[in-house]
Amino acid sequence: MSLDLEEFLRNQMMKGGRLVPARLQTALALLEKLRDKPSLKLDEHLASKGSSGLESHETYGNRAHDRLGLEPINKNHGLRSSSLKDWGQELLDHLKAVGFESVAFDVQQKLLDTTQGLFAAQLQCILKQEPLEARVRSRSAETVVRELLAQAEEKGRMADVAQYLVGATLG
């Protein structure tokens, strides 16, 4: 039993030719939620009918990151920018196609481990990317901040960098 998600990653986890960290984090949270509720119907995992958010999103995101030894890229685990309704059911359909519902609990857990491992590896690559850089010589602070925020947006770290720069939690 194998789960080939390469095409899924290319088609659903990317925007503008780059992997979207929020989608990867949300995929980890959704897969973690399957450990408690093994339903392959996305609507059964959403916060409310018609919602675009995963029920207990941060709780499951934190569990997944703890299990995998990852730091979240942003504290809400990508809740706001994940577009879960656009790709979540397709991810669950991949699991269905490999027989997730008909295998024993321990096999389900191994399948979830493998699938989460794939998403975690992609997220880890993003986390290890080169740090943001700012050179201050003969530039205004405003220009430097704009440059840092542009770099952060490219790396999917806009919220964290903005919060760090203003020294407050932004909601």
In angstroms, the CA 116 to CA 30 distance is 10
What is the model's pTM? 0.73
Q: Which residue has the higher pLDDT, 76 or 83?
A: 83
Dihedral of alpha carbons 63, 55, 35, 110, sign: negative
Band (pLDDT 50/70/90 cuts) for residue 94 is very high
pLDDT for residue 95: 95
Q: What is the pLDDT of residues 14-62, one digit of tens each?
A: 777 778 788 888 899 999 999 999 999 999 998 877 666 788 878 898 8
Domain range list for the chain:
6-127, 131-171
Strand partners, 54: 46
What percentage of the chain exceeds 70 in pLDDT?
80
Q: Residue 131 to residues 94, 120, 134: CA-CA distances in angstroms?
A: 34, 19, 10
The pLDDT score that the predictor gives to residue 63 is 92
**Which two three-digit tokens encode residue 159?**
């919220």
